[in-house]
């Protein structure tokens, strides 16, 4: 292929003289000429795929596109073509690993149809915008399918002489993941979806024209809303970075989270499932590590903490040998870590401290672990000893509501397969006991109301 250009025009001509390519973009004026000073070679490199095929028969001899064929022009243009071949278009980075737990969208329901005063005709109601829970939906899929993030409703039909009742606008529905709350820009919660098939009307269609409103149609509601996802899992992992949460998730389930020996390996939630011989399944959520001040939205902050709200059981994962975020931060012992995690949950939402909880003392295969395990168990299992220990800490550390652990399990997530299997059965047992207690409490409350 050879390329022909001048200061005023640009085109590429194939070896077949009956065909040519004409470039047209924002750098070309309305008359088809390149704007003065435009670098044609850069234009070709960046936008070659935007060329449109146009048969040369559409150009007359008096066409404003000039047919200059100077040798210097051909040489430079060929160099440009070779450069395009050597440097193919850069592919966009894959966002397959991106996790969305919040998405802002715009919704506008349909307006009602106009009424017909002379005949008493009533306009159709505008179509609603409805979010529907779907177990396979994700916020990322919404972004991919609806790139504009705008949902516009269908308008109701006007009343006519031959049809006095206007047809209502069809509702517009879109799938959302289970666990989504729909919140307006003013903080008003429109509803939440916790089950497959549940629906929330995000924007209501306008009322059609009728005697009640003087036959004037009303516009539909419009909102900027946020779809806020809180994962629904049976068990939520709680711990500081590098405590071994991802390793434990991999040991308990078939999940394949990123694992490394440095903090903040997990930057998005990972979901795993424990499968039992009787085909029962329990879901696990490995969430990004907390740091001190998470309740005030420091670090992953609220982005993490909101996901533990809907879990049935909290699984505290603590490094038995303590934790230090970096050299400029103080090193915390395992006991201090437990107290700090308790405090962070309480400051974010006090109700979280009332959840059933299991404590895993991870990395217990390392030297010096046995003495520390005994110290932690003796301290946590005796309330007076625990209270005495907390009095030695700063007041900012100490929670008002102390977590009660149903079980304390020392193990090595990477090596201790026997303890990991034991933990699977403990998780199941704690969930069952917790559900039985909730059912009993619910029945007692119902009985009191009936009396």
- Same fold across 102-229 and 235-444: no
> Sign of torsion, CA 161 167 168 172?
negative
- The mean-pLDDT minimum among 135-149, 218-232, 430-444 falls in 430-444
Return d(Cα 318, Cα 363) in angstroms, integer.
9
Q: Greater confidence, 120 or 289?
A: 120
CA distances from residue 326 to 241, 363, 394, 451 in whole angstroms, order as listed? 11, 19, 21, 59
* Fold entry, domain 235-444: Rossmann fold (3.40.50)
What are 94-120's pLDDT values in tens digits?
444 466 778 999 999 999 999 999 999
> Average of pLDDT values for 409-422?
92
Among 164, 182, 194, 187, smallest CA distance to 128 is for 182
CB 77 within 8 A of CB 3: yes
What's the per-residue H, E or C state across 241-257?
CCCCHHHHHHHHCCCCC
Question: For residue 440, what pLDDT is reported?
Answer: 75
Instruction: Pick from 4-18, 120-134, 275-289 the range whose average pLDDT is largest.
Output: 120-134
pLDDT at residue 238, as a whole number = 87
Q: Where are the domains positioned within the chain?
A: 2-86, 102-229, 235-444
Share of the chain above pLDDT 90, in %: 42
The band of 38, judged by pLDDT with boundaries at 50, 70 and 90, is very low
Q: Which CATH superfamily is domain 102-229 in?
A: GTP1/OBG domain (2.70.210.12)
Least confident of 66-70, 111-115, 246-250, 317-321: 66-70
């Amino acid at each position: 292929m050879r390329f022909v250009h001048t200061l005023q025009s640009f085109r590429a001509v194939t070896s077949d003289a009956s065909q040519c390519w004409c470039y047209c973009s924002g750098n070309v004026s309305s008359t088809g000429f390149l704007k003065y000073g435009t670098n044609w070679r850069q234009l070709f490199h960046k936008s070659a795929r935007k060329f449109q095929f146009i048969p040369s028969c559409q150009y007359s001899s008096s066409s404003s596109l000039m047919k200059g064929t100077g040798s210097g022009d051909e040489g430079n243009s060929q160099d440009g073509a070779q450069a395009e071949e050597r440097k193919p278009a850069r592919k966009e980075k894959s966002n397959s690993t991106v996790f969305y737990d919040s998405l802002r969208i715009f919704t506008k329901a349909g307006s009602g149809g106009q009424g017909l005063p002379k005949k008493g005709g009533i306009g159709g109601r505008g179509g609603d915008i409805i979010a529907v829970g779907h177990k396979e939906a994700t916020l990322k899929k919404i972004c991919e399918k609806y790139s504009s993030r705008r949902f516009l409703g269908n308008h109701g039909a006007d009343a006519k002489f031959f049809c006095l009742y206007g047809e209502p606008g069809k509702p517009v529905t879109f799938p959302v993941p289970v666990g989504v709350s729909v919140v307006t820009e003013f903080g008003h919660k429109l509803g939440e979806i916790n089950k497959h098939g549940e629906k929330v009307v995000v924007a209501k269609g306008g009322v059609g024209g009728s005697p009640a409103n003087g036959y004037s149609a009303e516009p539909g509601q419009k909102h900027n809303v946020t779809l806020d996802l809180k994962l629904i899992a049976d068990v939520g992992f709680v711990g500081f970075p590098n405590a071994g949460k991802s390793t434990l998730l991999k040991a308990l389930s078939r999940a394949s989270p990123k694992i490394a020996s440095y903090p903040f390996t997990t930057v998005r939630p990972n979901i795993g499932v424990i499968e039992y011989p009787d085909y029962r399944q329990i879901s696990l959520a490995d969430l990004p590590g907390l740091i001190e001040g998470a309740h005030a939205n420091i670090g992953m902050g609220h982005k993490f903490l909101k996901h533990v709200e809907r879990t049935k059981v909290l699984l505290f994962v603590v490094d038995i040998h303590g934790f230090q975020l970096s050299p400029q931060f103080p090193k915390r012992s395992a006991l201090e870590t437990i107290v700090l995690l308790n405090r962070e949950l309480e400051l974010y939402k006090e109700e979280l401290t009332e959840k059933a909880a299991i404590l895993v003392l991870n990395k217990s295969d390392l030297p010096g672990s046995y003495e520390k395990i005994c110290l932690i168990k003796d301290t946590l299992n005796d309330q007076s000893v625990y209270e005495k220990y907390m009095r030695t800490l700063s007041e900012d550390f100490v929670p008002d509501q102390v977590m009660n652990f149903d079980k304390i399990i020392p193990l090595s997530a990477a090596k201790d397969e026997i303890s990991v299997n034991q933990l699977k059965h403990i998780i199941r047992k704690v969930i069952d006991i917790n559900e039985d207690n909730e059912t009993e409490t619910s029945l007692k409350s119902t009985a009191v109301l009936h009396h």
